[in-house]
Amino acid sequence: MALPPLSRTLAAGACLAVLAGSGYGWALAAAPPPSPAGTNVLVVGSDSRAGLTREEKDRWHAGGEACRCADVVMVVHLSADGRRASVVSLPRDSYVPFAPHDDGEGPAAHSGKINAALQHGGPDLLMRTVERATGLEVDHYLQARFKGFVQAVDALGGAPVCTKEPMRDENSGIDLAPGKHHLDGGRALQYVRTRHSGHGDIDRVRRQQRLVAGITGRQLAAGTLEDPRKLHALVGEVARGLRPGPRTGVADMLALAWQARRLRLADVEFATVPLASISHPAGEWGSAVKWNEARARTMFRRLAADRRLAPADDGRGPRGGFDWTGRVAPGDRMDCD
């Protein structure tokens, strides 16, 4: 199965989960109080090209057909006291049991790549499938399309990134010299889509996390969360590219950000679900990603208990250089590629 471009909407969704909102009393009054177990937000980026002009597709190397799949699947956990956030990426080719659903021909129960759950049954099926795979209860759902990512990054003032080696990829259009760079939305899109490294989509997940950490750090350092005027202006722009889903409304998004106003970047931790294989044979689904079930259960149980993720997970992931899967990186220690 052809793989659509990865994670171009990651920053829009993840940054909203951590940043979006304001201190308006009406919104806080309308939203439910924080759960004592913390809050879980499912952040999804679809591969939809809706709203893109031909010129934009050419400029951003965004051609190709969409499969209406989820390019990005991330669980953002905000602690009950609002002082910690955990961002766990679920690779889009993860092979998991789908939640029960109607496939158009009656009730269906099968496994498949997690990104296809959005195509099979929309946001509701994807949300229930993530709940089934992780054991977590998803409180809120945010989804952004292709153009939403570009709009959000531009609204957030661009994305700081860095690379240790030259990054050039004709397919995505990225061309970066070693060092630090500040990218606008279109160039950030190229950055998150590149397959310039040998590890493909798994490396892209890590790159997405670094981009989100950079954007989040800039907003936290600027005090945006604590300034209702700044926050209101920012959210008005970022929210244009987002589509709230099941269990989520504007009041919820506002309340989430207000709850997170005391965050520090050092307390935003990033991880990828522990993996056992990146080439698991999955029948008609082709080669898929298989989780390390024991280590994944440990990770999600910590989130369910509103605890920090383990500061270091010494278990190694699949062969090929992916020993960072399952390991935890504080947002202020995200290294260059």
- Maximum C-alpha span of the chain: 54
DSSP helix/strand/coil, 124: helix
182: left (phi over 0), alpha (psi -120 to 50) or beta: beta
Residue 315 reports pLDDT greater than 60: no
CA within 13 Å, CB half, 9: 31
Amino acid in the structure at residue 324:
W
Give the residue, 127 or 142, on which the prediction is more confident.
127
Tens digits of per-residue pLDDT, 229-269? 777 777 777 777 777 677 777 667 777 877 888 889 999 99
Amino acid in the structure at residue 7:
S
**pLDDT-based confidence at residue 3 (cuts at 50, 70, 90):** very low
Residue 297 reports pLDDT greater than 80: yes
Per-residue pLDDT averaged across 133-154, rounded? 89
Predicted local distance difference test score (pLDDT) of residue 223: 84
Per-residue pLDDT averaged across 167-187, rounded? 90
Residue 67 reports pLDDT greater than 80: no
Q: How far apart are CA 296 and CA 190, in angstroms?
A: 30
Residue 109 reports pLDDT greater than 50: yes
Q: How far apart are CA 263 and CA 43, in angstroms?
A: 19
Predicted local distance difference test score (pLDDT) of residue 239: 72
Which tokens sit at 167? 């990054």
Q: How far apart are CA 153 and CA 15, in angstroms?
A: 9
Residue 76 reports pLDDT greater than 60: yes
Q: How far apart are CA 99 and CA 303, in angstroms?
A: 21
Q: Is the pTM of this model over 0.75?
A: yes
Listed range (116-125, 169-178, 179-188, 190-199) with the worst mean pLDDT: 190-199
Q: How far apart are CA 126 and CA 333, in angstroms?
A: 31
Among 295, 237, 4, 45, CA closest to 149: 45
**pLDDT-based confidence at residue 148 (cuts at 50, 70, 90):** confident
Which tokens sit at 287? 């080669």
Domains along the chain with CATH numbers: 10-333 (3.40.630.190)
Give the residue, 200 or 188, on which the prediction is more confident.
188
For residues 106, 110, 115, 118, the Cα torsion angle rounded to the nearest 10 degrees is 20
The kind and range of the H/E element at 189 are: helix 185-193
- The DSSP bridge pattern shows strands 174-176 and 95-97 to be unpaired
Share of the chain above pLDDT 90, in %: 34
Average pLDDT of the residues of the chain: 80
Predicted local distance difference test score (pLDDT) of residue 16: 40
CA distance readout (Å), 138 to 25, 134, 192, 246, 247: 25, 10, 26, 10, 9
Listed range (28-37, 96-105, 126-135) with the worst mean pLDDT: 28-37
- In eight-state DSSP terms, residue 173 is T
